[in-house]
Structure 1
Amino acid sequence: MKTFKTIFFILLISISAISCSSDDGTDGKDGADGAQGPAGTANVIYSAWINAPAGTPETIDGTSGLSTSIAAPQLTADIMAKGTVLVYMSFGSGTNVFALPYTSTAGGSINTITAISSLGNIKLFRFKHANDGTTVALPASLNWRYILIPGGAAATTSKTAKVDYTKMSYEEVCAALNIQP
């Protein structure tokens, strides 16, 4: 019986020694985090600055104004349903950029230029608030740019909350999406 106890004791010590490894010590200090990479533009679609034809008379939902259109071939039903469509206007060469809708007192009357999205197209519509049957020009000299941001998975925590690009300036949107203004 003494031999059995001795063998059992040696076997127990052997198993304990084999199951231990040098990895069982304390963890070392974590290294420093790397630098933040540039913002990505994965799946974001944006146009160059575009000139559109001068506006022509149109009535939309009972409001008279002038409209013109720019082609946006990548504007899909999915982007319209789940994503974000941003449209900007410039009075020339991408300077003095304004997000649509844009309201001013051009022509001595309060008027708004807005964008109406449809599959593959963005209609630009300018109307006077007075809706008195007269219009304010929608000249071909204006420049337009659109940014299409496809929708993603629904946010589940505050850390992954969706960014509201409509509340950001043009410059902030370009910086956030790594787009050359």
Structure 2
Amino acid sequence: MKNFKTILTLFSIAIFTASCSSDDGADGTNGVDGKTGTANVIYSAWLTAPTAAAETVDGTSGMSTTINAPELSEDILSKGTILVYVSFGSGTYTLPYTSTAGGFVNTITAISTVKKIKLFRFRHDAGGTVNLPTSLSWRYILIPGGVAAATAKAAKTDYSKMSYEEVCAHFNIQQ
């Protein structure tokens, strides 16, 4: 009878242990989730760029200047997201930014390479150039790539469709 009680006790412990598996129900919470932070996200201070010079890029004439982005790596170029903003009196805008400055429709765009971001402004009518004044302020945000889209739990966020304020809030970046 003593052996039967021991076997019954061991069997009960085995059943109890198996029934307590974490696969049986919803996961619990270890604590309150914190605010989204800036882990791995790199951002610059507001920068001024050197005086722009006339340049032709891919057959398009315009004005260009370059800002240094020492953290911009080949890995970020190939797998990450690069956001560039311009700020002046009327607000902060995501590049590419199209306006009618100088009386002509023109676009400012960013061309990223390792450790550099070229700022290029061109007119849509190909009739000359519109300057990139040194009074403009520039900021970049680099978001390194991580999990391949096929294995991610949720669809990759398109940060380029978010406003500057939304991106700063999302990554807890001081504006």
Same fold, TM-score > 0.5, yes or no = yes
Pick from 102, 105, 113: which aligns with 1:107? 102
Pick from 16, 20, 23: which aligns with 2:8? 16
Residue segments in structure 2 that go unaligned for 5+ positions in a row: 21-26
Where 1:59 maps in the other structure, the secondary structure is strand
Question: Structure 1's 67 and 83: CA in aligned 2 closer, same or farther, altered over 3 A?
Answer: same
Could you tell me how far apart the structure 1 residues matched to 2:147 and 2:6 are?
A: 53
Cα deviations by residue, 1:96-151 (Å, 9 ceiling, x for unpaired): 1100000000111100000000111000000000002x211210000000001111
Pick from 129, 141, 144: which aligns with 1:135? 129
Could you tell me how far apart the structure 1 residues matched to 2:157 and 2:110 are?
A: 21
RMSD of aligned C-alpha atoms?
2.6
Alignment length, in residue pairs? 169
The correspondence of residues 33-48 of structure 1 with structure 2, limited to 5 A, is: 34-48=31-45
Could you tell me how far apart the structure 2 residues matched to 1:157 and 1:72 are?
A: 30
Could you tell me how far apart the structure 2 residues matched to 1:18 and 1:83 are?
A: 54
1:168 paired with 2:165, answer no
The correspondence of residues 26-105 of structure 1 with structure 2, limited to 5 A, is: 34-91=31-88, 96-105=91-100
Question: Structure 1's 56 and 24: CA in aligned 2 closer, same or farther, altered over 3 A?
Answer: same
Task: Work out which of the two has the higher radius of gyration on C-alpha atoms and give 1 or 2.
Answer: 1
Could you tell me how far apart the structure 1 residues matched to 2:121 and 2:150 are?
A: 39
State the TM-score, normalized to the length of structure 1.
0.83
- Opposite residue 173 of structure 2, the aligned amino acid is I
State the TM-score, normalized to the length of structure 2.
0.86
Identical amino acids, percent of aligned pairs: 59
Question: Structure 1's 32 and 72: CA in aligned 2 closer, same or farther, altered over 3 A?
Answer: closer
Residue segments in structure 1 that go unaligned for 5+ positions in a row: 1-8
Could you tell me how far apart the structure 1 residues matched to 2:172 and 2:93 are?
A: 19
